[in-house]
Chains A and B, each alone.
Chain A
């Protein structure tokens, strides 16, 4: 399934001038297709988890698709990004093969990290995806240093750092964004912190965990320009992304966007009963499904027929079934893989 990479390339080669937002519907059908794929992929992963094919933890992205899709649609092919452990869709949106992503979840040698990372540690460095990380907030310093490295090396590449609302209360965040604020003064930190505020750090709400619940505003303490945005509407998200990325690329200064979004599933596959929120709350959130919203916009614009939509859903179902089959039939890592990739040596 090479669709997302095609999509991205076409999006990325066009530089977006600051004063001109992207044509709102450019490539949107392709991104709709990719978002549908991500949703079907997560559903398939949940089934495979219940069948015991996927071990460990499984955190699915359903409900938040418009966030990563909106940002990655505007990311240039030589740009880079980091995220936390809810990372499957990020890989798919960036063009990683669904087969290799699913194989990673299955712990197979054909996985994106050769079966050594699993769900929380997807990587595709050739595509600028520097990883999924499992310690909340722990990847923020990495992404900040990586952004410095991009400027130090004399490029105009940028770094996106996705994080959850839970990371906002870690020391790692505050130390990292302070460095970004300092380095940004000299134009040496082209990074966007994208706070995917799905309102719960595992089962503890932002309300219950944060003294200041306006998360974007907290970046003011580090002289980082910031805003809040709707993360359920792909087109709006993408417009914000285009504007912010252009600015960050030009100025080399950090920027933070708090994106309001919803996770439709539990925190992880084991979070079945979700005692921290009501069924009504979840149902209400699902009323603004980012895929349905984009579909509606595309239908209104006459860019997508009912038949097109059905075909896209059917194609996605087939792709994820193929991915699951590929993962199932792939070999496990050979025993000698246990002791490789520990050191690079000289």
Chain B
């Protein structure tokens, strides 16, 4: 166990996996000479050379697609998208090739591909650089979607992603790169589809992932001062989605608040809320509440941006609403 930042948990896991398996290679824009936009790949070009740490042109469609081809041939590419916003340029490759080629070939190929990078809002990056795309990618069968919320999860989920046989949409968060936490050593890995109960409680279940987990935990602390004992579930992966843990929690607490940074319509929270209704309807004492980003392109002005993303107070308000304590 060591204390590492989220960034270093990712970086050291890349090193461990590259040392372990020569089939693992890295690709992306400015990951080598430039050391990586968020320095997740710092020093790795020197360590592994240009064949394994490939600086690509600004060409997402091209290099993501090339990585799919490499994966089909047995390599294990880990592709950095500078931010997930840019993955939209590669969407045909991700959706029509990576996600489906195993299926339409009748199972003749594996696609052990990880695409990783920061997802969600930063600070004043405005409309084109602030999107949360988890529901977009969560929609497609054939993909896995992981969203680590802590340094330990960054390591554990990345290791599972790299050693798997399937394309993984690996959603990091720029605000988390500097976060410190205890990270297990050795071959520590977290299986996909196992949510974590980050805080046990009995009055209401708050469901979150990625950066929103920290916001949800802060909200839970805050309502604790008012005598509300909130349980917080950290999903860790959105596909597969661990509905069993969610439903079991709601069976105990009878109330649920789902938190997401992305837009409300057709978002992850809608899927989770619908699943709660399907699996725990009789247990509910109140409608499921959704806390989401505002339904607008992200504005630049800091005050407007702050209005567009969910905060602790929004979660507190939703929790109280489920308890009729507004």
Asked whether, in the complex, the Cβ of A145 is within 8 Å of the Cβ of B102, the reply is no
Which residues of A88-126 have CB atoms within 8 Å of chain B's CB atoms? 111-118, 121, 123-126
Complex Cα gap A144–B62 (Å):
9
Total interface residues on B, using CB and 8 Å? 45
Residues of B within 8 A of A340 (CB): 107
Question: A150 is contacted by which of B73, B102, B163 (Cβ under 8 Å)?
Answer: B73
Q: How far is the CB of B76 from chain A (nearest CB, A)?
A: 10
Query: Is B107 touching A145 in the complex (CB atoms < 8 A)?
Result: no
Chain B, range 15-55, C-beta contacts under 8 Å to A: 25, 50-51
A346 touches B164 (CB 8 A): yes
Mark out the residues of chain A between 185 and 219 whose CB falls within 8 Å of any chain B CB in the assembled complex.
Answer: 186, 188
Interface residue from A82, A152, A176 paired with B51 (Cβ < 8 Å): A152
Q: Which residues of B contact A146 (CB under 8 A)?
A: 69-70, 72-73
Complex Cα spacing A137 to B112, Å: 22
Chain A residues closer than 8 Å to B93, beta-carbon distance: 138, 141-142, 172
With contacts A113-B108, A123-B105, A345-B166 known, is A141 near B70, CB below 8 A? no
CB distance from B161 to the nearest CB of A (A): 10
CA distance A111 to B107 in the complex (A): 12
In the complex, which residues of chain A have a beta carbon less than 8 angstroms from the beta carbon of B165? Answer: 343-346
Which chain B residues in 48-82 approach chain A with CB under 8 Å? 50-51, 56-57, 59, 61-70, 72-75, 77
* Complex contact A153–B74 (CB within 8 A): yes
Of A111, A142, A146, A153, most buried by chain B (CB within 10 Å of CB) is A142
- Given A141-B93, A342-B142, A344-B102, are A175 and B62 also a contact pair (CB < 8 Å)? yes
Q: Is the CB of B70 within 8 A of A149?
A: yes
Cβ contact of B56, chosen from A111, A115, A138, A179, cutoff 8 A: A179
- The reply to whether A149 and B101 form a contact with Cβ atoms under 8 Å apart is no
A191 to chain B, nearest CB (A): 10
Q: Which of A117, A126, A142, A344 contacts B106 (CB 8 A)?
A: A117
Is B97 in contact with A138, judged by CB distance below 8 angstroms?
yes
Q: Min CB distance, B80 to chain A, in Å?
A: 15
| Interface check A281, CB cutoff 8 A | no
- Docked-complex contact A115 and B163, CB < 8 angstroms: no
Contact B108 A125 (CB under 8 A): yes
**Nearest CB in chain B: distance from A261 CB, A:** 25
**A145/B66 in contact, CB under 8 A:** yes
List the A side residues contacting B72 at CB < 8 Å: 130, 142, 146
Complex Cα distance, B72 from A123, in Å, reads 12
Q: Are A176 and B104 in contact (CB under 8 A)?
A: no
Q: Chain A residue with minimal CB distance to B144?
A: A343
Q: A113-B108, A145-B68 are in contact. Are A138 and B96 (CB under 8 A)?
A: yes
Chain B: residues with CB nearer than 8 A to chain A?
A: 25, 50-51, 56-57, 59, 61-70, 72-75, 77, 92-93, 96-97, 101-112, 141-142, 144, 160, 163-166
Nearest 8 Cβ contacts at the A-B interface: A141-B65, A175-B62, A145-B66, A344-B165, A145-B69, A114-B106, A113-B106, A142-B69
